[in-house]
Structure 1
């Protein structure tokens, strides 16, 4: 056993059970963070760390919903587009005079409704999830631009407590919401019958059906929950930016979410996944993006890095899932 292997094994044993299976991902995160800290004095400052946490909050919310869905063997490529639509709807409702929190609630309901439609198409019409949700994403991408007429729509001082508020005068409200969502999703996945059903469906859907698990209903609820959280992500976006703008959300956000979930170890074929891994994946992508900015590397490398990391994670995911 090499010294590096021995060190990794000691680190694995020293970590809590939820983190020990992600020792490799945690090591990469620490290495990237250490490298950036050595090259930029701004990296470990309070303002920068708070900025990173706010930037990844929306990704974390969407990734929590996708983790639950992918654990059951599903996929939804429309989450970023749902966020784009709901952030535009929220802004337009507020501009039209609707109470800010009522507008936010309506956006959540819209997101859940779109997720429900996706679930019906996939579950009852048996359209391949990739095709169904990609089609939905395309439709919603155009709808998002139509809703705001391709222009920025300012919400003024609305939703300031959510977008710029702080809990205990230190923790951004956006981060509190993201942590609460991820914690709730993690508890649901690990400690509830609903979570166990998701694992069973992802592991072997036919066996789960024969075991009496309500497969169709569970998948329908998962797609609806994913849409609801994407709607919440849209509300968080407009609250943080103070406006709805073209290009916000959409496919790039969706790919970032998928990358975070896959990097976190959730199996593409279903049956395996943890919120701890997803959170680490979100953190890694956030730190990489922040590092690129701080080190003044060409911003185009951000997409290159995202694609490369996703490819490596997908290959690793596939190799992990192969029978030995």
Structure 2
């Protein structure tokens, strides 16, 4: 192809060459629409609030992205968050130190992740089934721990949940650090490349010398650890653990963000960049619907429509590259 032909390349083809162009287009369109319809959207306080809210989802989505590229799935991460917040809130309310509370809560969340990994790896139960069962169990455990009541932690962890550094919420720095480290692992480490190989074809990966069992256990353990971290972040932001904190709704939001960000449910494909865009899209949509005071009955319909359009846009872009 000559230079002149390259320069004359149609705009549509140039757009397809941009990573996640379809998702970016949807996100920009919604931002422009929100900016026109309501002055409150671009208010710095509102944008900071959105950033603080999506930080928790971003941490869960980071762990889920790494797990899903390896062909795994964990629907219990939201339930793990619920248990972590419940246990941490009770420990703080009963006088435990912050350091001891964090250590116990994160350790517990890692153990939950490892249990999922053991069940999926050694019993051959489908990840979807095993972790959905665990999610239901964990939601019940969380309610038992707090006895169905709201447990306040007062101003404990307020520096994390409501504090700012250089004008940005501290929760954002935590989320960005997790996302950056996950992206680095996926792209530049042997472990990350092995995860893609396992997701592409587990049998071939095993024959290639990859310790599939070890890697899957580590992946589920990491998913558990990030669930625990997200739980601490959520607890610090809400300053209390209540019925409904975390749970399946939070999990479905994270799964939706990862999937519309281009990560394959079958494994072997995914990027943190796409996941970030998916998280931002969901966060912005939820915020805009609230600002426009749209009835909650219509909010789920609107969010579902946006997700469908974004997923279709990403699929069409992928087909255009073939």
What TM-score does the superposition give when structure 2 sets the normalisation length? 0.92
Give the Cα separation in 2 of the matches to 1:107 and 1:165: 21
**The one of 297, 300, 304 aligned to 2:301:** 304
User: 2:289 aligned with 1:292, yes or no?
Assistant: yes
Q: 1:39 to 1:206 in 2, by over 3 A?
A: same
* Structure-2 separation of matches of 1:21 and 1:314: 14
| Separation in 2, partners of 1:72, 1:317 | 20
Alignment match, 1:101: 99
2:129 counterpart (128, 131, 142):
131
Task: State whether structure 2 residue 229 is matched by structure 1 residue 232.
Answer: yes
Corresponding residue for residue 40 of structure 2: 42
Cα 1:89–1:63 shift into 2, 3 Å: same
Matches within 5 A, 1:217-296: 217-296=214-293
Residues of 1 paired with 2:315 and 2:131: CA distance?
22
Question: Aligned pairs, how many?
Answer: 311
Distance 2:35 2:200 in 1: 41
Q: 1:104 offset after TM fit, Å?
A: 1.7
d(CA) in 2 for partners of 1:243, 1:186: 31
* Partner Cα distance (1:205, 1:310) in 2: 30
What is the alpha-carbon distance in structure 2 between the residues aligned to residue 278 and residue 81 of structure 1? 21
Return the offset for 1:310.
4.4
Contact 1:262 1:313 in 2 (8 A): no
Decide which of 113, 116, 131 is 2:114's aligned counterpart: 116
Cα pair distance change 1:10/1:176, threshold 3 Å: same
User: How many angstroms apart in 2 are the aligned matches of 1:270 and 1:52?
Assistant: 30
Tell me what 1:72 maps to.
70
Q: Which runs of 5+ in 1 are unaligned?
A: 14-19
Partners of 1:116 and 1:294 lie apart in 2 by 40
The CA deviation string for residues 5-34 of structure 1, in whole angstroms up to 9 with x for no partner, is 944444566xxxxxx221110111000000
Q: Is the 8 A contact 2:69 2:267 kept in 1?
A: yes
1:17 corresponds to which residue? Answer: none
Alpha-carbon displacement from aligned partner over 1:69-121 (angstroms, at most 9, x marks no partner): 00000111001000011001110000111112321221111111100000000
Stretches of structure 2 that go unaligned for 5 or more consecutive residues are: 1-8
3-state secondary structure, aligned to 2:123? coil
Q: Which residue of the other structure, out of 151, 156, 160, is the alignment partner of 2:154?
A: 156
**Secondary structure in structure 2 of the residue aligned to 1:124:** helix
Shift of 1:274: 0.2
Counterpart contact for 2:57–2:253, Cα < 8 Å: yes
